A and B are shown apart, each in its own frame.
Chain A
Amino acid sequence: DAGVIQSPRHEVTEMGQEVTLRCKPISGHNSLFWYRQTMMRGLELLIYFNNNVPIDDSGMPEDRFSAKMPNASFSTLKIQPSEPRDSAVYFCASSGQGYFANYGYTFGSGTRLTVV
């Protein structure tokens, strides 16, 4: 398996533009998580899905952020409109049950977002 795949790796956009981050989890994993990492706030859990259903989005900063998981192999995190304070590294992670349960979460390489 190629691991959790995120795209793009880097995104530079102007304030007010829409940004879409993409994630492909590991095949067989049934949970997917979106985290944001900044120097000031560390790693923050934004939202997580279980079996493609959003379970907890209490970490989503505001209505400008939305996430979807239309199927087991794809998720998006959208920011519209983007603001400079959204600049961060956004990580997607997936985890599974049963055999996978002892191996924690598998993280993608992240998307470094810069909003200017």
Chain B
Amino acid sequence: SQQGEEDPQALSIQEGENATMNCSYKTSINNLQWYRQNSGRGLVHLILIRSNEREKHSGRLRVTLDTSKKSSSLLITASRAADTASYFCATEGNTGKLIFGQGTTLQVKP
């Protein structure tokens, strides 16, 4: 079952622009995580934000979490062609299971 819904499903931008992806979820969570998947590869963990945190940064990544709206956003600043990939949000609740959304496909054009 899918917990997160991501928006948009696909995003195409020029190199240097910022990319914003959104994720909504349905039930209470302990944390929310973002992953990147390059074509034909496994998923790579990007960042984890806990339910009592509102914003987190890691390099060119900025993640926000609004538990009242059950939503999160991932911002990639100054995008590069190498950022082209699928991005997934995933939520972890009290069950210990990590449930993934359907993902956003990002294309960064050189």
Within 8 A of B (CB), among A39-80: 42-43, 45, 48, 50, 55-56
Write the chain B residue with the least CB distance to A3: B42
Distance of B27 from chain A, by nearest CB (Å): 15
Residue interface bits B25-47, CB-to-A below 8 A is 1, else 0: 00000000101000001111100
> Most B CB atoms within 10 A — which of A104, A109, A110?
A104
Q: Is the CB of A102 within 8 A of B48?
A: yes
In the bound complex, how far is the Cα of B43 from the Cα of A110, in angstroms? 9
Q: How many A-B residue pairs have CB under 8 A?
A: 49
Total interface residues on B, using CB and 8 Å?
19
In the bound complex, how far is the Cα of B33 from the Cα of A32, in angstroms? 17
Q: Which residues of B contact A103 (CB under 8 A)?
A: 45, 48
**Set A45, A48, A107, A110: member contacting B44, Cβ < 8 A:** A107
In the bound complex, how far is the Cα of B96 from the Cα of A4, in angstroms? 19
Q: Is the CB of A42 within 8 A of B100?
A: yes
Q: Is the CB of A107 within 8 A of B43?
A: yes
Write the chain B residue with the least CB distance to A33: B98
Determine whether B97 belongs to the interface, using a CB cutoff of 8 Å to chain A: yes
Total interface residues on A, using CB and 8 Å?
23
Determine whether A96 belongs to the interface, using a CB cutoff of 8 Å to chain B: no
Tell me whether A43 and B100 are in contact in the complex, defined as CB-CB below 8 angstroms, given that A56-B95, A104-B33 are known contacts.
yes
Q: Which residues of A contact B88 (CB under 8 A)?
A: 43
Q: Is the CB of B42 within 8 A of A110?
A: yes
In the bound complex, how far is the Cα of B99 from the Cα of A50, in angstroms? 16
- Interface on B for A, CB 8 Å cutoff? 2, 33, 35, 41-45, 48, 88, 95-103
Please list 18 pairs of residues, one from A and one from B, whose beta carbons are closer than 8 Å in the complex, sorted by A's number: A31-B96, A42-B100, A43-B43, A43-B100, A45-B100, A48-B96, A48-B97, A56-B97, A91-B43, A102-B48, A103-B48, A104-B35, A105-B33, A105-B98, A106-B45, A107-B42, A107-B43, A110-B41
